[in-house]
Structure 1
Amino acid sequence: MAGMVTNGAAAWPSLVWDEWAATANTLHMWTQIVGKTRLALTPLQNHWWNVPLYVTARGLGTSAMDYVGKGGDDVLDIEFDFVAHELHFRMGSGKAMSVPLRAQTVADFYKEYRGCLVSLGVDVKIDPMPCELANPIRFDLDTEHRSYDREYAQRFWRVLMETEKVFRRFGTGFLGKVSPVHFFWGSFDLAVTRFSGRPAPPRAGADAIQREAYSHEVISAGFWPGNGGYGAAAFYCYAAPVPEGLAEAKIRPAAAGWDKALGEFILKYEDVRSQASPETALMEFLESAYAAAADAAKWDRAALERQ
């Protein structure tokens, strides 16, 4: 943590869930539509690493996806631009389109989105049913989610951008298998995951998604804005499987601790942004939560970490 540059609270804007929940829930569905395109156009990688979105200099993007159509081989990338508030479609052949991000229903967004793909000559089958939700509504039938607050969409991206910087620095101290820092559109969170290298026992009742995601022992850290009923933006860290005694471990900073209901360590976003150096507080959480979980799970830390 020595020498870490701090931007202070100004770079970490307020993100009170109740003030932008409608926009967040709409964006969640929009990112799922784009994410399902990525799922359809990319080959399966371990732990579903082929499907997430990535933080960009202006928002969230897919990176280049291979596409073979009537015009031959090409690549496509799609980006949510939360600076200009546009959705960009770009192809390696030079074709490009952009549509404005504005308040509209998920059904209308989905229709417009599919129309853009058709105009670009991209024919891709997208499953219209959202993932990882208690009461999903098909994209083409969803007139409930229809909000877009430009200010809060941009705040969300700014938080993701600052968080991604710290997550990348956190990753440099680990020599074992570690994921990219990526945005999972199913759960609407930014995450980075470390692996012990050992297979994990099968999870009881796991579906195909969970079986692939948790095939090996992991310690995962991330940020999510408060969706799913939690109601507050927070950073988290969990181990899967959960080692015995982890719930009793003490971590830093003082505001962080074990959430019994969630079964993971939690540090609320407001407790980070209120610090003189939010970056230092977040790194302290990541390092101490990882150390507690790795020790409890008896990972070979001497072999896995940069000494």
Structure 2
Amino acid sequence: MAVERQAWPRLRVADWQETRDTLHMWTQIVGKIRLAHAPLVNHWWQVTLYVSPRGLTTSTVPYGTGAFDIEFDFVDHRLRMRTSDGGVRGFGLQPMPVAEFHARTMGLLDELGVSTRIQGHPNEVEPAIPFAEDDRHAAYDAGAAHLFWRQLLQASRVLGEFRSRFAGKVSPVHFFWGSMDLACTRFSGRDAPEHPGGAPNCGDWVMVEAYSQELSSCGFWPGGGEEGAFYAYAYPEPDGFAGQRVGPSAAFYSRENGQFLLPYEAVRTAPDPDGDLLEFLQSTYEAAAGPGRWDRAALESDPARWAHRTHRPL
């Protein structure tokens, strides 16, 4: 697959679905390694991956009195591991079964002295084939993986700008490996009713923690449309949420998914992709915050509030 150079790359889901599904399993393995060592942070924020200048990273993970990190490098196509005592390991990303990726990853951790045990099967998918037995998922199209990272890079950049407009409790822009989506979540400050759960191969108590407070969430998912989709939902969904008017014109409420969707290709081909995506993020947030009676005056913020001083040295 030829690598396109425009800022918002084109990547049809149908063209890389096998690679996507394999990469989903690989990110679950690396995410579970972080989960095994990082202390619990509200809503499972300690388990996520982050968009990096070269791919997806765990960021710094504590281990004993030191630390380590793991990064998917989608530029040179390598899995890289580093420890605070100077250890470095890695291997090339290429077509290989999940079982092999799992064995190589865990073996290199052992070489680095990072003793780790993870749950041996994926979450939020059906069927949940144990990693050590998964020979079904083995595709890796390097060009597609690179394009996916560049999709995430653009989405993360605009989601970060949107995040800056909120002074209340708000998550980082982070990648959830269970559902394979990039997300950013705002909170009203009020408790939410207990979530009923229901995600495949995932304990209901996991969702109870994730949705313990009233929220408005948005992000990007490599599904839900020809080239993926941006999404936005609220929990609990306030009365009238689905009927709220949101923009841009390509956005719509999917009753099947219980959320607003904006096809990635509609953003990619827009004259102002950043502006259209920000319109979607803002209008869907307002669709939740208005009917939900959020204290918007206290929660929202102007990221340009010090712009008049930035020309002066600090």
TM-score range for the pair, normalised by the shorter chain length: over 0.9
- Mapped to 2, the partners of 1:107 and 1:196 lie a distance apart of 42
Q: Which residue of 1 aligns with 2:82?
A: 90
**Residue matched to 1:5:** none
Q: 1:243 aligned to 228, 238, 242, which one?
A: 238
Counterpart selection for 1:265 from 251, 260, 283:
260
Asked which structure has the greater RCO (Cα within 8 Å, sep 6+), the reply is 1
1:212 is the counterpart of 2:209: yes
Provide the C-alpha distance between the structure 1 equivalents of 2:197 and 2:133, rounded to a whole number of angstroms. Answer: 30
Return the alpha-carbon distance in structure 1 between the equivalents of residues 226 and 96 of structure 2. Answer: 24
State whether structure 2 residue 218 is matched by structure 1 residue 221. Answer: yes
Aligned to 1:39: 35
Residue in structure 1 matched with residue 180 of structure 2 by the alignment: 188
Q: 1:54 aligned to 2:46?
A: no
User: 2:134 pairs with 129, 142, 145, which one?
Assistant: 142
Question: Would the aligned equivalents of 2:103 and 2:132 in 1 still touch at CA under 8 Å?
Answer: yes
Moved more, 206-215 or 75-84: 206-215
Q: CA RMSD in A?
A: 1.2
Amino acid at match of 2:57: G
Determine helix, strand or coil for the equivalent of 1:221. strand
| Structure 2 counterpart of 1:159, one-letter code | Q
Look up the equivalent residue of 2:70 and give its one-letter code. Answer: I
Secondary structure of the residue aligned to 1:90 is strand
> How many Å separate the matches in 2 of 1:22 and 1:276?
31
- Aligned pairs for 1:1-307 (under 5 A) are 10-68=6-64, 73-205=65-197, 207-226=204-223, 232-306=227-301
Structure 2 residue ranges without an equivalent (≥5): 199-203, 303-314
Shift of 1:209: 0.9
Does the 8 Å contact 2:211/2:235 carry over to 1?
yes
Letter in 2 for 1:16: R
Amino acid at match of 1:95: G
Provide TM-score, normalisation by structure 2: 0.91
Aligned length: 293
Tell me the SS of whatever aligns to 2:290.
helix
Q: Contact 2:42/2:209 (CA < 8 Å) preserved in 1?
A: yes
TM-score, normalisation: structure 1: 0.93
Q: Which amino acid is the alignment partner of residue 176 of structure 1?
A: G
- Counterpart-to-counterpart distance in 2, 1:107 and 1:114: 11
Q: Distance in 2 between matches of 1:211 and 1:239?
A: 15
Q: Which runs of no fewer than 5 residues in structure 1 stay unpaired?
A: 1-8
| Displacement of 1:263 | 1.0
Shift of 1:203: 2.0
Name segments (4+ residues, structure 1) moved above 6 Å. Answer: none
Aligned partner of residue 125 in structure 1, secondary structure: coil
Letter in 2 for 1:272: V
Aligned to 1:4: none
